[in-house]
Structure 1
Amino acid sequence: MADKVDNLILEHLRALRGGQDRIEHELREVKLRLSSLESAVVGTKRDTVHAQEDVARQQVSIDWLKERLDRIERRLDLREEA
């Protein structure tokens, strides 16, 4: 009888260990996938910042060109008064 109980306990422990091993494997996989997602989010944020920098740089260029155009119009008396 004691052998049967010992075997039953060992069987349950093995089943628990197998379940724990599966959970640990899945957790490692989830961690890897989460790391990939975090990297993707960082990349997206970086791309967004670069796009905003480009827009700001373009706006500075447009402002500079507008100032030059205004100055040229003033010098040539081409500007119409409102």
Structure 2
Amino acid sequence: MSDVPGNLVLAMLRRMDTKLDRGLEELHDVKVRLTAVEENLAGVHRRIDRLDERIQRIERRPELTDATH
């Protein structure tokens, strides 16, 4: 009879350990995916910066200025 409470606690601890392991795996997956999102967003920012530079270069061309000036 004295082993039953101990076994019950041990079983509960094992279930908690399993759930904790699963949570840690999911957290790792989320971190990997977040890193990928951050890298892709950085790439988008670089492309926008290049487009902005190209637009500024185009706007500086004298032949493209408004003829009414």
Query: Taking structure 1 as the reference length, what is the TM-score of the superposition?
Result: 0.73
* Displacement over 3 Å in runs of 4+: none
Match of 2:48 in 1: 48
Percent identity (aligned):
30
Deviations 1:33-68 (A, max 9, x none): 00111111111011000001011111222x2x368x
Shift of 1:17: 0.2
Structure showing greater radius of gyration is: 1
Any unmatched runs of 5+ in structure 1? 71-82
Any unmatched runs of 5+ in structure 2? none
Query: Taking structure 2 as the reference length, what is the TM-score of the superposition?
Result: 0.86
Residue 39 (structure 2) pairs with residue 30 (structure 1): no
Alpha-carbon separation, structure 2, partners of 1:10 and 1:26: 24
Match of 1:7 in 2: 7
Q: CA RMSD in A?
A: 1.7
When the two structures are aligned, how many residues end up with a matched partner?
66
